Amino acid sequence: MFGKRQKQNGNGKGSNGLYQHGNEEFIHLRQIVKTFDTAAGKFSALKNVDLRVDSGEFVAVIGKSGSGKTTLVNMIAGIDRPSSGQVLVGNTAIHKLNEGQMAVWRGKNIGIVFQFFQLLPTLTLAENIMLPMDFCNVHKSGERRKYAMQLLDQMEMADHANKLPAAISGGQQQRVAIARALANDPPILLADEPTGNLDSKTADSVFQLFEDLVKRGKTILMVTHDNDLAKRVTRAVQIVDGEIIEKHLADVFPVLTSEQLIAFTHHIDPEQYVPGSIILRRGEPVNHFHVILKGDVDIIVPQANGTDQVVAHYGRGNYFGEIEMLRGGASLATVRATGNQPVEVLRLNRDTFNQMVEQSAELKKIISGVAQERVAENDTTRGGPSR
């Protein structure tokens, strides 16, 4: 699941567009299983999890307590090791690193933001930020305080540089914790419930900091219970009993059971389209059902006078291709990415779509009803039946 996405240049890929270990995306967890030994026996925290995250994405990982979301993020940081499977980040197979190699790699590539801040109480704020630089020998020793002050300034905390953590508020401590996570300029930030101990206003302020960092090229995975925050990220994935569900699929089709969503998630194929590009063209075969994750599309149909007209405008949470999936035949309309931002969609092939609607009579009724309404609207607009 989570297959092809529009790729960004650079990031150490070879001429074939792949990283050293064959991963297309910047982060790829391949068939991860994590089992813990407990007093009650073996406990499977992650079950054949496959997750792909490309550079510059902001991904929320949501789920109930004990669902496996923190374990998932810890796999990327190398804090937990998989019982089986592969953890690939760029050109590094981090599941193969020994503890010493892991510590060095983590220090330079991962910034971690904790729910409880984890600032050392006897060090000043500036000293807390300088600590990762000292550990990884990043920047010349005489320049580390200057970099720490620059980071504090970005977080609007420079005036507090010489204070101890206990002298500032929880929201301010979290800002310093983010600055510390950025001390070695890592490409990836992992945040475990970073707003869990903050009031809503402060949480929103911290979240805006993350959004700014993504705009500057950082890749962020954030564990959160806050569904409102989860709606603002590039993509949300939900973990249920150690298995991943595509959150947007669950939001669009709440009538599906967790078991059905898990099964269908494994067959999702994400795609991204630049504004103005054609996603479906009228008269051509339709092989996928599309759910819009981000951006907007125009639905265009020909008129009786030979001109084309935009008959509908769909955004996040809408879907298209259901008419052709249910009835067969070529596309009845042209679907074009519009607006000023890329359109991201989840695609399900015909076999998966058929399984989805056949396994849920309620879902089939809903989608069939939408299809009938859209055909009627198109007929009215065109001045005659679609077929």
Q: 300 in a domain, yes or no?
A: yes
The structure tokens listed for 89 are 């980040």
Give phi and psi for 344, each to the nearest 5: -110, 135
What's the CA gap between 107 and 100, in Å, rounded?
Answer: 11
Residue 4 confidence (pLDDT): 37
Residue 314 confidence (pLDDT): 95
Q: Are 231 and 59 in contact (CB under 8 A)?
A: no
Non-local (6+) Cβ contacts of 287 within 8 A are 349, 350
Number of domains in the chain: 1
Q: Domain holding 327: CATH number? A: 2.60.120.10
Q: 20 in a domain, yes or no?
A: no
Q: 342 in a domain, yes or no?
A: yes
**Rg of the chain taking only CA atoms, in angstroms:** 24
- Pick from 230, 294, 293, 289: which is nearest to 264 by CA? 289
Residue 121 confidence (pLDDT): 94
What's the CA gap between 330 and 145, in Å, rounded?
Answer: 63
Residue 11 confidence (pLDDT): 58
Give me the residue label for tokens 């779509």: 353
Q: Are 246 and 60 in contact (CB under 8 A)?
A: no
Angle between the 170-181 and 125-136 helix axes, to the nearest 10 degrees? Answer: 20
Residue 120 confidence (pLDDT): 93
Q: 375 in a domain, yes or no?
A: yes
Q: Which residues of the chain are under the pLDDT cut of 50? A: 1-10, 386-387
Q: Are 331 and 286 in contact (CB under 8 A)?
A: yes
Residue 152 confidence (pLDDT): 92
Q: Are 316 and 339 in contact (CB under 8 A)?
A: no
Helices within 69-188 (DSSP H only): 69-77, 99-109, 125-136, 144-154, 170-181
The domain of 341 spans 270-382
Q: Which residues of 33-50 are buried (b: 16+ CB within 10 A; e: fewer)?
A: ebeeeeeeeeeebbbbbb
Q: 323 in a domain, yes or no?
A: yes
CA dihedral 373, 374, 380, 382 (to 10 degrees): -160
Q: 159 in a domain, yes or no?
A: no
In this structure, which amino acid lies at residue 128? N
Q: 364 in a domain, yes or no?
A: yes
